[in-house]
Amino acid sequence: MFVCPKPTTHLHKFQQGNRMYVADLSQCLVLEIDDIVWEILDLCPSFSSEEIIERLGRKYDREFVIAALDSLATMEQQGLLFSNLENRSRALETETPRKLKILVLQRSPYAADITLAAGGVSVAHHNLIKSLEAYASLDVVGDRDERFNGSVQGIRFPVNDKSALLKLMGRNYDGVLLDSHLNDRALSLLHCINAPFVVPIHAARGHNSDCINTGLLWYAAMRPYDAFLVPTNSVRDLYARFVSDKDIFHTIPWGVDHNKFHPLDKQEARNEVAKMLHAPQIASSPVVGFFSRFQPEKGAGIYIEIAKRLPNTCFLMTAPTLNFYEHQQLPPNLICAPQQPREQLARLINAFDVYCFPSMVGEETFGLALLEAMACGIPPVVPHLDGLPEVVGDAGIVVPAQAYEDEIGSFAGTVSPKAMADAVNTLLTDEKARLALGQKARERALTFTWDKTAQNVIALFRRLKGIQQLENGYKRHFAISFAPYLNNRRRQIENRAILNNITLQKERPLMWDRYAQSIAEGLSLTLLRRHTRHEVEAVLHHLYGQERAEVILEKVFGFEEAVNR
């Protein structure tokens, strides 16, 4: 089969009447091609052969797409179209690919040092930016213009400053990366900056549905070459209940810094932590750890209940503050450590025998603290909620939990403290199983790296750039009229949308002069002239309900793609 991606800069496609041709400018050669090969040549610089089959297989029979790829492979073997690319490809392999120029839109200034950062979202965003430095030139919005290093530059951008916006628009970015989809102030820039937007979703739900509603607002405004970046499939699955376009969600897991988070000598770590906290029991008792915000929705109350059920076990936690638990009587086997600098956090984690994270908040799209504990070789016990099971895999114990259809307060579900305590106790009483699971957790964590995340994000931007180039081509718009219409078969007047087969170029791309369509189809085609596909989707859902809207969307989008290829 024809292997993609491949460059096509030496090829020129053109049409004469209904016939399609491709010219190989490097060989002064012209060949006639069919419509499938025409579309493959559009896609092959940015997509693999498998991805091309997947995309075009929605429009054509998959066997026809595969046959078209095979025909291109035959041409290549015969010295046609792509035969001169071998030496060129070898030369390109020795060259360093051009770095992408990416604008980073974030709500707080860029911080070169996050030693004291506690929130998983800020830590994840920072590590992603640091990892992207090797592959892209980054302009990070901040309070002032400043150069951080050779790849990262801070740029001042007051939101209401029109001159600053015009300056930003003139920088010709290859892509725009947000810190979070909750940064809805950046929505106004979506149609100002002509570059793909990649919008991470760190909090899938929560905050009285504000997280979902902000995500849906972004979804409606997004163009075909914009995307959501999600760390686990759980986010995509959640939004699939509300939207039709699932392909806009791209799953790229976060990573972990293995230089900071790795196994240490457990007894030495326990002795150091015991001395630091003046708690000698840490050095001689089983230790169950917790580090996160100590709030009810993060599982603080459940963690306390587990400590009460296992009184002979030391429960060691670290958090920025105890919040209202500071005014409650905590069990004597619960030890509270002050917040640890990230450089020292691995020492505390290595004192754990088990990491227990009973979070019930609707923001656990991934669980960065969970992965950091696994990287230290600590087996985790977590509830089956949102993205946590996808991170743990088979390298921990996932306790059954009840996910709520609607939140209560900031709780997205509930888990039994008894079930969590039993799972923790199972590991504490079986040293062999606990050590084996800890080793498996470490091995699994080694597959999550920030460099891999950065490479996948860069690949996503390049893919979206390819889609943008296709979308920026000529789009044919048909004139739509809404009028009473005589149905000859039924002998009655109906209200119909009339698709007029004319364009500004006086072409006649379809067979007849006009076609009667349903009102829904005509409305969709009319709205698509000025609104995004996702906005049209919202209108149809409102008017016709989700099930019928899906059918209408499939027909209309398929027609639009076929006419405007």
**Any residues with CB less than 8 A from the CB of 93 and at least 6 apart, and which?**
none
Q: pLDDT for 363-394, tens place per residue?
A: 889 999 999 999 999 999 999 999 999 999 99
CATH assignment, 100-251? 3.40.50.2000
Specify the pLDDT at position 91: 45
Q: Is the pLDDT of residue 85 over 80?
A: no
Q: How many CB atoms lie within 10 A of CB 476?
A: 13
pLDDT tens digits, 178-205:
999 988 888 888 878 889 999 999 988 7
Domain pair 100-251 / 266-448, same fold = yes
Judged against a pLDDT cut of 80, whether residue 503 lies above it is answered with: no
Q: How far apart are CA 439 and CA 429, in angstroms?
A: 17
Model confidence band, residue 145 (pLDDT cutoffs 50, 70, 90) = confident
Specify the range with the lowest mean pLDDT, choosing from 149-158, 161-170, 394-403: 161-170
The confidence score (pLDDT) of residue 439 equals 97
pLDDT at res. 474: 55
Would you say 180 and 230 are in contact if contact means Cβ atoms under 8 Å apart?
no
Structure tokens at 172: 């010709």
Mean pLDDT in residue range 57-61: 82
Which of 180, 171, 7 has its CA nearest to residue 106?
180
* 313 neighbors 293 (Cβ within 8 angstroms): no
Residues of the chain above pLDDT 90, percent: 45
Angstrom distance (rounded) from CA 328 to CA 322:
10
pLDDT over 70 percentage in the chain: 92
Q: How confident is the model at residue 114 (pLDDT cuts 50, 70, 90)?
A: low
Q: Stretch 164-180: mean pLDDT, rounded?
A: 88
Three-state secondary structure call for residue 22: strand
Q: Are strands 492-500 and 514-517 parallel, antiparallel or unpaired?
A: antiparallel
516 vs 133: CA distance, rounded Å: 55
In angstroms, the CA 204 to CA 44 distance is 34
Chain CA centroid to CA 241, Å: 17
Domain 266-448 homologous superfamily, CATH = Glycogen Phosphorylase B; (3.40.50.2000)
461: exposed, middle or buried (Cβ count in 10 Å: 0-12, 13-18, 19+): buried
Look up the pTM and report it. 0.78
pLDDT band at 93 (very low <50, low <70, confident <90, very high): very low
Mean per-residue pLDDT of the chain: 86
Least confident of 49-58, 95-104, 105-114: 105-114
Q: What is the pLDDT of residue 270?
A: 95
- Spatial separation of the C-alpha atoms in residues 518 and 527, rounded to whole Å: 14
Max CA separation in the chain (angstroms): 92
Higher pLDDT, 130 or 59: 130
Residue 89 has pLDDT above 60, yes or no: no
What span, in angstroms and rounded, lies between the C-alpha atoms of 158 and 155?
Answer: 10
| Euclidean distance between CA atoms 532 and 84, whole angstroms | 40
Domain ranges of the chain: 11-93, 100-251, 266-448, 479-563
Sign of the torsion angle spanned by Cα atoms 187, 191, 192, 198: positive
Q: What is the pLDDT of residue 409?
A: 79
Report the range of poorest mean pLDDT among 137-151, 269-283, 421-435: 137-151
